Amino acid sequence: MERLGTLRRNKMRITGAVVVSATLALSAVACGGDDDGGGGSGNEITIGFMGDLTGENSGLVIPPKQGAQLAIEQYNATNPKVKIKLKTYDSQGKAEQATPLAQGAVKNDKIVGLIGPAFSGESESVGPILEEAKIPSVTPSATSVTLGEKGWKYWHRVVADDAVQSEGAANFLVNSVKAKKLFTVSDKQAYGEGLAGAIAKAASAKGVQVQSDGVDDKATDYSSTVNKINQFKPDAVYFGGYYAVAGRLFKQLREAGYQGKMMSGDGSLAAGLIEGAGEKNAQKALLSCGCLIDAEGKTNEKAKKFATDYQAKFGAEVAIYSTEGFDAATAFIEAVKAGKTTPEDINAYLKSIDVQGLGKQIKFDDKGELAAKDIFIYEVQGNKLPLLGNSNEAKVS
């Protein structure tokens, strides 16, 4: 998630209204915690996971961490020749914390690969460190367009970037929502501003009349923006940012009488959005994401089995980026299965990997970008966020 830079408050419940606390299934989330998921006997390599595991937006990162943990535990349970130790690094989503953690992971822990960083801001800081050390990384959730423009040779992601998300969301707004007028709002942070701007540009190119504004992510009163929206009378409002701000904005919009569609991106795809807006105000709010949350197996049977296994392991429903966390770990697992155990050998393997993930093909282009360009749409229904479908096919209820 450019995702994902300045953080907001509120412990959140993950998708499906299951409460997630910072302690859930995290045996050690402090700097350099261990989740070896299957023993340390015989040959073993260490792969790290970095992201916000105890901070204000940890609800967006615990699911992919758990997805990665499950994949590695299932692999280790097969008693392979080389087992994988998963070591966690809690950056709290802050670049200033992520940088020394990355340095320690490389120099002291001798990681051969990193799953993450989860957010784009910390990815910007950590990327050069991993590049210099020649340590491959696969992020499950950092979607900033600029990450793929760095020329990094050891960086990859298993999720579409914000440019792809903006195009998919714009198609959905035009073809399904039938929006003729759109108002975009950002939280003035790198991720939110970039996403909202890209949505505005993509929608304008499709003939939609667009107006835009920004709100202070530390403020609580958005009446100025709300008044602008009501004066413009748009068919839809798209917010770029995280669920805490989105919840407040959507609540104030409904209380001010706005009746049009409300939509946001992956940074808001969490039950915390419903809590912040109030269940009544949040109804039928729409979310776009390059992530797949498919507990019912609407897209494929592998997704359903994963949801069942995840529920059994963590006592929670699959949530945002849990699928991508599993797929990021799978990329490393496939490399190890192929006998690649050094960082450079693993990175070389990732350049040619082409395997079916839980919902998308795990295959990277020469920039480390995921070849698949799917964007999925979700809708608030009650206190849940069920999948409507691919952005090109989903229909509003």
On the question of a cis peptide bond just before residue 343, with omega within 30 degrees of 0, the verdict is no
Intervals of CATH 3.40.50.2300 along the chain: 13-160+300-362, 163-289+375-390
Domain 163-289+375-390 sits in CATH at 3.40.50.2300
Q: Give residue 31's pLDDT band: very low, low, confident or very high (50, 70, 90).
A: very low
Q: Give residue 299's pLDDT band: very low, low, confident or very high (50, 70, 90).
A: confident
Query: Distance of alpha carbon 193 from its chain centroid, rounded?
Result: 17
Segment 102-157, tens digit of pLDDT: 999 999 999 999 999 999 889 999 999 999 999 999 999 998 889 999 999 999 99
pLDDT score of 9: 33
* Integer Cα distance of 170 and 315 in angstroms: 36
Lowest mean pLDDT among 18-27, 60-69, 269-278: 18-27
Segment 194-240, tens digit of pLDDT: 899 999 999 999 999 999 999 999 999 999 999 999 999 999 999 99
* Integer Cα distance of 103 and 84 in angstroms: 20
Q: Give residue 35's pLDDT band: very low, low, confident or very high (50, 70, 90).
A: low
Task: State the alpha helices, DSSP H only, in the chain.
Answer: 62-76, 95-107, 120-133, 162-175, 190-205, 223-232, 243-255, 271-277, 279-282, 301-314, 322-337, 343-350
Helix, strand, coil abundance in the chain, percent, nearest 5: 40, 20, 40
Q: Give residue 312's pLDDT band: very low, low, confident or very high (50, 70, 90).
A: very high
C-alpha gyration radius of the chain: 20
CB 282 within 8 A of CB 261: no
DSSP for 76-96 reads HTT--SEEEEEEEEE-TT-HH
Please tell me which residue, 114 or 295, carries the higher pLDDT value: 114
Task: State the alpha helices, DSSP H only, in 271-317.
Answer: 271-277, 279-282, 301-314
Beta bridge partners of 390: 376
Cα→Cα distances 280→1, 160, 275, 284, Å: 27, 31, 10, 9
Mean pLDDT for the chain overall: 89
Please report, as a single letter, which amino acid is at residue 333. I
Please tell me which residue, 363 or 40, carries the higher pLDDT value: 363
Over residues 330-353, the mean pLDDT reads 98
pLDDT score of 108: 97
Structure tokens at 120: 């784009």
Question: Is pLDDT at 332 greater than 90 in this prediction?
Answer: yes
CB 237 within 8 A of CB 267: no
Burial (CB count within 10 angstroms: exposed 0-12, middle 13-18, buried 19+), residue 96: exposed
pLDDT score of 34: 60
Q: Give CATH superfamily name and number for 13-160+300-362.
A: Response regulator (3.40.50.2300)
Q: Give residue 16's pLDDT band: very low, low, confident or very high (50, 70, 90).
A: very low
pLDDT score of 296: 87
Question: Is pLDDT at 33 greater than 70 in this prediction?
Answer: no
Tokens 């692999």, located at residue: 75
* Integer Cα distance of 18 and 8 in angstroms: 20
Q: Give residue 190's pLDDT band: very low, low, confident or very high (50, 70, 90).
A: confident
